[in-house]
Structure 1
Amino acid sequence: MRFRATLDGDDRSARRAPYVRADLRQATVRGADMSTMDDLRERTRGQIFTEGDEGYDEARRVHNAMHDKRPQVVVRCENAGDVMAAVDYARTNQLDLAVRGGAHSVPGFGTVEGGVVIDLSGMRNVRVNPVSRTARAGGGATWGDFNAATHAFGLATTGGIISTTGVGGLTLGGGIGYLARGLGLSCDNLISADVVTADGRFLIASEKDNEDLFWALRGGGGNFGVVTALEFRLAPVSTIYGGPMLFEMSDATAVLSGFRELIKDAPEQLGGFPAFQIAPPLPFIPEDRHGEVFTFIVGCWAGDPDQGEAQISKYREFAPVVAEHVGPMPYPALNSAFDGLVPPGLQHYWKANFVTELTDEAIKAHLRHAPALPAVNSTVHIYPINGACHRVTPDGTAFAYRDANFATVIAGMWPDPAQNEAGVEWVRSYYDDLSPLSEAGGYINFMADDDQGRIRDNYKQNYDRLVEVKRKYDPGNLFHLNQNIAP
């Protein structure tokens, strides 16, 4: 008999599934025998793609074209029951398991050679409760999906910089974005998460249920299970005032040092970040300057719109502005403004560090490498993570660097694989120069696939506790395709 189960609010499907408890805090299907592909198909509602199937090549692709792998099977899940089936199949057959939400993982953790891919893109629903100011997002939702739903009610939470990024992946790594100084990280606004663990159980993690798991999910990455839904706290954010400003590279020292001093004590509604970027061919940039490297500030004032111009003008005091596209706009418009620079199919290689002090020496190191950006898609961002981010204790969540003031990412991106050797070398040499001037650890969402040796540094005092949570929920390390916390 064929049956399917959902655990994402479909009561009819839940009644059809004999193994789902009425109390959905913990559904205790353990060790289900899923030896064959027929078993997997029998238990799965969503699409299954194996080699030779129509759509397989599209289903196996991820954002970073450096990773061209051929999974044994891609399971495009429609509900938590599908996820449980796919986890059971991978565990039973001792296959490597990759989990994919927005498919943006730069190290390629959303795909695997010869193993199982859990693709959550069929679970992109977002439900907003405007009374409680909360929103519940499916595990495959992107920030574009999330913002479209919440903006209708004049609400938002801290998301990323690119709207096609997955809500789940960003949040599990911490969640840095435009609103972080005022609202905290994405993970700081997480209320609960639905999780399928390595033994096939369905759990709810929150401050009241499976508290240790909830602590670990907030910054610990995908080490502990597949998150099939996330519930967030929202804040009134609708129209923001901001956008990009371009400064000459000859003024970069003044811009970065000015930003460093201003952001220490600026109102927490003032966000944004300095960056290095090749000017794309946009109408607000003088045509004869397209293709040149500039210092950028992307500003975001999320407070009283009437104060927006005065607040953003503080950035103009650093140096003469070459070009800008600044003004009032819906928050989702800023969150998606740079999507065109990061289409699927680019080659990606990134490195990252947390920075307690953006010293003059660090600024000089940036200026030794930033002028050689390999392509218009490549960039360097220096995100401020003070304000509300500092009001959470270092051990309050798994995200450990609550004393850092900036998170730096060197995001190498280019379209031509022939550039890979030179592009990777640019990122590595830049990173090597900055490392002695930065903290030992970095933001795991910006890490490369060769950064596993930094895992303890990334979590500092929280690492040993994370190992204990890993041993409890995934002792066999089924979820190892990530910045891995080994049990």
Structure 2
Amino acid sequence: MKFDYSGLTGEITTREDFNYEEDRKSWNRAIQKYPLVIVFCKNKKDIISAIGWAKKNSLEIRIRSGRHHYEGYSTGNDVVVIDISKMNEIIVDEEKNIVRIQGGVRNRELYEALGRREYPFPGGGCPTVGVSGLVLGGGWGYSSRLFGLAADSLTEAEMIDYEGKIIVATEDCNNDLFWALRGAGGGNFGVITSMTFKLPKKIKMATLIDIDCRNTKFHEIIKGFKKWQKLYKDLDRRINLKMGIYNSKEKGHGLRITGIFYGSREEADLILQSFKGISKNEIYDLNYTTVLEVNRIIQDSHPPYEKYKSSGRFVYDDYSEADMKNIINLVKDRAEGSTYTAVSLYGLGGAVKDRGKRDTAFYYRDAKFIMGFQSVWEDPKYALENVEFVKEKVKYIKEITKGSYINFPCAELEEYEKEYYGGNLEKLKEIKRKYDPQQIIKFPQSITVK
């Protein structure tokens, strides 16, 4: 079937265009989808015309900013992709103590704009993740225990709905939508054109934490796991960490702790003393530098793209030594063709827990950690083995966790709405009925209404 694209504005890429192969790619190169047309929007008019054109031609819409959706739901086969990555203006208003960004701004761009002015921001670790997508899912980051989730700094969101209408959501205006946009995930209600955040107090310096135990013995990883769990019992909220228990083709079995401490190297060293000497092959590095440089280093540690399968769930329980052994054994072996597999714990608590689970759409406020699991490969012929490997391991992880993190989605989830949104699901369905009754804005795991 041939389509007349003349009604679309912005930059249009179709299957006939030379740059289609590049423009259709996701950050997760395991995602291979073939949209009908990709509309690179430069303004709100382009978005409105794309929504209208898709409806006129009875085509599904996908919304894309950073191309980082783990399962590729920001794209699809034979769909209209509304790409807002070219809408990336950032306005810092120090008098009003706010920063306003367009919907296509990515982590690195915001860190650079704010870091040069000595403002921290509770964004994510990967540089090319779209800030709007991060925030819509709540938004975990290395600064979450001090500043809260990325969504907790949000004061206003502007959205274009299924009819092409512009809606502004704040605590005082369309507050039900504002509630939903802080944790219910991207692509459920409309296209975000801008977000406004409250700025935190300036902090110039921080300590980057990097502890890496390579080629480490099983009992040493157990020791590190126990210390990790104990550390979070009463942890200074100025610090947050991610611990990865990994099996790497390059580094063998190991344990790595990465994090940020908003304080001096000496203070960080006192907090982390128990992690010294876990392994003979340990790298223990505390780097006191500018907050901007800390975030640059973390972001630069991410590859430009990967092929992977992953999932993320919430940890509520303290784990026994037997539990820890089972968790570590998840990465005892790698799938065929895998270059890296890991089970990771992302720290929660602190300011994340200051708000209640009903205060925003992010339900799992009182969890201790997010537990992630992933497998990475290079040769596409090993994709199926790696996907099945992750699916099998997640069966056990589900037994020892509760709920699933919308920003670490998993296509195989049964009752995905209940898993992602917990006790906030029914309220979210009501909001979906109000703002998108025809379910024009949707994707394979979107909020559904009858």
The two structures have a TM-score, normalised by structure 1, of: 0.85
**Is the counterpart of residue 366 in structure 1 residue 327 in structure 2?**
yes
Contact 2:247/2:333 (8 A) holds in 1:
no
Of 400, 410, 415, which aligns to 1:448? 410
1:413 alignment partner, SS class: strand
1:325 alignment partner, SS class: strand
2:5 alignment counterpart: 37
1:292 alignment counterpart: 252
State the Cα distance separating 1:183 from its structure 2 match: 0.8
State the Cα distance separating 1:453 from its structure 2 match: 2.6
- Identical aligned residues as a percent: 28
1:322-365: CA deviations, max 9, x gaps? Answer: 11333113334443545566545532211221010241243222
Superposed counterparts of 1:79-478, under 5 Å: 79-222=43-186, 223-235=188-200, 236-247=202-213, 248-250=216-218, 251-278=220-247, 290-304=250-264, 307-316=267-276, 322-337=282-297, 339=299, 342-360=302-320, 361-374=322-335, 375-439=338-402, 441-451=403-413, 453-478=415-440
The two structures have a TM-score, normalised by structure 2, of: 0.91
Distance 1:306 1:325 in 2: 12
2:332 alignment partner, SS class: helix
1:256 alignment partner, SS class: helix
Distance 2:394 2:301 in 1: 22
State the Cα distance separating 1:371 from its structure 2 match: 2.9
1:463 alignment partner, SS class: helix
Amino acid at match of 2:205: T
RMSD of the alignment, in Å?
2.2
1:51 alignment counterpart: 15
- Which has the higher mean CA deviation after the structures are superposed, 308-317 or 139-148? 308-317
- Which has the higher mean CA deviation after the structures are superposed, 126-135 or 469-478? 126-135
Distance 1:452 1:484 in 2: 13
Q: 1:341 to 1:423 in 2, by over 3 A?
A: farther
Q: 1:378 to 1:139 in 2, by over 3 A?
A: farther
Contact 2:308/2:374 (8 A) holds in 1:
yes
Amino acid at match of 1:239: M
Contact 1:345/1:415 (8 A) holds in 2:
no
2:7 alignment partner, SS class: helix
1:75 alignment partner, SS class: strand
State the Cα distance separating 1:275 from its structure 2 match: 0.7
State the Cα distance separating 1:92 from its structure 2 match: 2.3
Distance 1:419 1:339 in 2: 27
1:85 alignment partner, SS class: helix
1:68-92: CA deviations, max 9, x gaps? Answer: 2221211001112211111111122
Distance 1:295 1:348 in 2: 20
- Which has the higher mean CA deviation after the structures are superposed, 122-131 or 140-149? 122-131
Distance 1:131 1:310 in 2: 37
State the Cα distance separating 1:196 from its structure 2 match: 0.7
1:23 alignment counterpart: none
State the Cα distance separating 1:259 from its structure 2 match: 1.2
Gaps of 5+ in 1: 1-34, 281-289
2:331 alignment partner, SS class: helix
Distance 1:131 1:371 in 2: 54
Aligned residues: 439
Distance 1:317 1:259 in 2: 14
Distance 1:130 1:302 in 2: 21
